[in-house]
Amino acid sequence: MTDILKNKMTEVSVKLSSLPPEEALALLAQEFAGKIILSTSFSWEDQVISHMVLSQRLPIKIFTLDTGRLFSETYYVWSRTNEMYNTTVEAYYPNAGLLEEFVTQKGPNSFYESVENRKGCCYIRKVEPLQRALRGNDLWITGLRAEHSPERGDLPMIEFDETNNIIKFHPLLHWSTDEVKAFINKNGIPYNTLHDKGFVSIGCQPCTRAIMPGDDFRAGRWWWEDKTSKECGLHAHS
| Active-site option among 121, 122, 204, 232 | 232
Angle at 102 between CA 223 and CA 67, to 5 degrees: 60
For residues 192 and 41, give the distance between their C-alpha atoms in angstroms, rounded to a whole number: 10
Give the C-alpha distances (Å, rounded to integers) separating 203 from 41, 68, 188, 234. 8, 11, 23, 12
The answer to whether 140 and 169 have CB atoms below 8 angstroms apart is yes
Residues 6+ apart with CB under 8 A from 68: 93, 94, 99, 125
E-only strand ranges, the chain: 36-39, 61-65, 90-92, 139-141, 158-161, 166-169
207 given a catalytic annotation: no
Of the candidates 109, 106, 34, 112, the residue with the CA atom closest to the CA atom of residue 69: 109
The distance of Cα 76 from the centroid of its chain, to the nearest Å, equals: 17
Q: What is the DSSP letter of 145?
A: -
Task: Find out whether 210 and 128 touch, Cβ atoms under 8 Å.
Answer: no
Question: Of 215, 158, 198, whose CA–CA distance to 32 is shortest?
Answer: 158
Active-site residues, by number, are 232
